[in-house]
Amino acid sequence: MGRRVAVVGAGISGLAAAWQLVTDPAAPDDLSVTVLEASDTVGGKLRLATVAGVAIDVGAESMLARRPEALALVRELALEHLLRHPAPVSAAIVAGGRRWPLPRGTLMGVPSDLGTVRGLLTDSEVDRLAAEVISPVEADIAVGTFVDARLGRAVTDKLVEPLLAGVYAGHSRAISLEVAVPAMFAAAREGRSIVELAGRVAAAAAENFTPVFATLENGLGTLPALLADALRGRGVRLLTGTTVRALRAADGGAWALTTGPTTDAVEEVFDAVVLATPAAPTARLLAGVAPAAAASLATIDYASMAIVTIALAGPATDVLDGSGFLVPPTEPLTIKAATFSSVKWPWLALAHPDMTFLRASVGRFGEVSTLQRPDVDLVEIALRDLASVLGRPLPTPVETQVQRWGGGLPQYAVGHRSRVEPARAPAPGITVCGAAYDGVGIPACIGSGRGAARAVVAHLAG
Ligand SMILES: Cc1cc2nc3c(=O)[nH]c(=O)nc-3n(C[C@H](O)[C@H](O)[C@H](O)COP(=O)(O)OP(=O)(O)OC[C@H]3O[C@@H](n4cnc5c(N)ncnc54)[C@H](O)[C@@H]3O)c2cc1C
The CATH number of the domain holding residue 443 is 3.50.50.60
Among 7, 8, 37, 45, say which to mutate for ligand 1: greatest number of ligand atoms within 8 Å of CB. Answer: 45
Q: Does ligand 1 have an atom closer than 6 angstroms to the CB of 15? A: no
Q: How many A from CA of 45 to the centre of ligand 1?
A: 4
Q: Residue 319: its pLDDT value, please? A: 78
Q: Does ligand 1 have an atom closer than 6 angstroms to the CB of 434? A: yes
Closest CA to 361 of 336, 391, 341, 393: 336
**Is the confidence at residue 454, as pLDDT, over 90?**
yes
Check residue 414 and report its DSSP letter.
T
Average the pLDDT over 420-447 and give the result.
96
Closest CA to 17 of 459, 433, 300, 440: 433
**Is the confidence at residue 1, as pLDDT, over 80?**
no
**Is the confidence at residue 26, as pLDDT, over 90?**
yes
Among 7, 212, 277, say which to mutate for ligand 1: greatest number of ligand atoms within 8 Å of CB. Answer: 277
Assigned domain for 114 exists? yes
Q: How many A from CA of 39 to the centre of ligand 1?
A: 12
Assigned domain for 389 exists? yes
161-168 helix and 143-151 helix, angle to the nearest 10 degrees: 170
User: For residues 392 and 141, what is the distance between their CA atoms, to the nearest angstrom?
Assistant: 41
Higher per-residue pLDDT: 401 or 367: 401
Protein residue with least CA distance to atom 26, ligand 1: 434
Q: How many A from CA of 34 to the centre of ligand 1?
A: 19
pLDDT band (50, 70, 90) for residue 395 = very high
The CATH number of the domain holding residue 148 is 1.10.3110.10
Q: Residue 344: its pLDDT value, please? A: 97
Protein residue with least CA distance to atom 5, ligand 1: 60
Which atom, in ligand 1's list, is nearest to the CA of 64?
11
Protein residue with least CA distance to atom 27, ligand 1: 11
Q: Residue 206: its pLDDT value, please? A: 86
Q: Does ligand 1 have an atom closer than 6 angstroms to the CB of 59? A: yes
Q: Does ligand 1 have an atom closer than 6 angstroms to the CB of 423? A: no
Q: Does ligand 1 have an atom closer than 6 angstroms to the CB of 10? A: yes
User: For residues 6 and 254, what is the distance between their CA atoms, to the nearest angstrom?
Assistant: 11
- Of 202, 235, 269, the last residue of a domain is 202
Asked whether residue 431 falls in the same domain as residue 394, the answer is: no
Q: Residue 354: its pLDDT value, please? A: 94
**Is the confidence at residue 75, as pLDDT, over 90?**
yes
Q: Please give the mean pLDDT across all residues of the chain.
A: 96
Protein residue with least CA distance to atom 48, ligand 1: 44
Asked whether residue 118 falls in the same domain as residue 198, the answer is: yes
Protein residue with least CA distance to atom 22, ligand 1: 435
Assigned domain for 69 exists? no
Asked whether residue 418 falls in the same domain as residue 294, the answer is: yes
Q: Residue 316: its pLDDT value, please? A: 79
User: Domain range spanning residue 374?
Assistant: 302-410
User: For residues 325 and 312, what is the distance between their CA atoms, to the nearest angstrom?
Assistant: 18
Asked whether residue 231 falls in the same domain as residue 322, the answer is: no
Q: Does ligand 1 have an atom closer than 6 angstroms to the CB of 408? A: yes
Q: Does ligand 1 have an atom closer than 6 angstroms to the CB of 275? A: no
Assigned domain for 90 exists? no
Domains in the chain: how many in total? 3
Contact (Cβ atoms closer than 8 angstroms) between residue 440 and residue 409: yes
Assigned domain for 56 exists? no
Contact (Cβ atoms closer than 8 angstroms) between residue 434 and residue 276: yes
Asked whether residue 241 falls in the same domain as residue 188, the answer is: no
Residue 315 CB: number of other CB atoms within 10 A?
A: 14
Q: pLDDT tens, 225-281?
A: 999 999 999 999 999 999 999 999 999 999 999 999 889 999 999 999 999 999 999
Q: Does ligand 1 have an atom closer than 6 angstroms to the CB of 39? A: yes
Q: Does ligand 1 have an atom closer than 6 angstroms to the CB of 13? A: yes
Q: How many A from CA of 12 to the centre of ligand 1?
A: 7
**Is the confidence at residue 458, as pLDDT, over 90?**
yes
Assigned domain for 226 exists? yes
Q: Does ligand 1 have an atom closer than 6 angstroms to the CB of 86? A: no
Long-range contacts of 254-261 (CB under 8 A, 24+ apart): 254/429, 255/6, 255/289, 255/429, 255/430, 257/6, 257/8, 257/36, 259/36
DSSP 212-231: SEEEETT-GGGHHHHHHHHH
User: For residues 106 and 104, what is the distance between their CA atoms, to the nearest angstrom?
Assistant: 6
Which atom, in ligand 1's list, is nearest to the CA of 442?
11
Sheet of strand 83-84: strand arrangement:
63-64, 213-216, 83-84
Q: How many A from CA of 44 to the centre of ligand 1?
A: 4
Asked whether residue 189 falls in the same domain as residue 265, the answer is: no
Which atom, in ligand 1's list, is nearest to the CA of 445?
26
Asked whether residue 282 falls in the same domain as residue 430, the answer is: yes
Q: pLDDT tens, 345-389?
A: 999 999 999 999 999 999 999 888 999 999 999 999 999 999 999
Q: pLDDT tens, 99-132?
A: 999 998 899 999 999 999 999 999 999 999 999 9
The CATH number of the domain holding residue 369 is 3.90.660.20
Closest CA to 5 of 265, 293, 224, 276: 276
Q: How many A from CA of 445 to the centre of ligand 1?
A: 9
Protein residue with least CA distance to atom 50, ligand 1: 60
Q: Residue 462: its pLDDT value, please? A: 85
Assigned domain for 186 exists? yes
Q: Does ligand 1 have an atom closer than 6 angstroms to the CB of 445? A: yes
Q: Does ligand 1 have an atom closer than 6 angstroms to the CB of 228? A: no
Q: Which three-class secondary structure string do you get for 140-182? A: CCEHHHHHHHHHCHHHHHHHHHHHHHHHHCCCCCCEEHHHHCH
pLDDT band (50, 70, 90) for residue 155 = very high
Asked whether residue 420 falls in the same domain as residue 282, the answer is: yes
Asked whether residue 258 falls in the same domain as residue 130, the answer is: no
Asked whether residue 156 falls in the same domain as residue 112, the answer is: yes
Contact (Cβ atoms closer than 8 angstroms) between residue 360 and residue 310: yes
The pTM of the full predicted model, rounded to 2 decimals, is: 0.97
pLDDT band (50, 70, 90) for residue 166 = confident
**Is the confidence at residue 54, as pLDDT, over 80?**
yes
Assigned domain for 95 exists? no
Q: Does ligand 1 have an atom closer than 6 angstroms to the CB of 402? A: no
Least confident of 26-30, 317-321, 332-336, 417-421: 317-321
Q: Does ligand 1 have an atom closer than 6 angstroms to the CB of 240? A: no
Asked whether residue 269 falls in the same domain as residue 279, the answer is: yes
Asked whether residue 417 falls in the same domain as residue 406, the answer is: no
Q: Does ligand 1 have an atom closer than 6 angstroms to the CB of 169? A: no
Protein residue with least CA distance to atom 21, ligand 1: 45
Which of 28-37, 112-121, 157-166, 259-268 has the highest mean predicted lDDT (pLDDT)?
Answer: 28-37
Q: pLDDT tens, 312-353?
A: 999 877 779 899 999 999 999 999 999 999 999 999 999 999
Protein residue with least CA distance to atom 35, ligand 1: 9
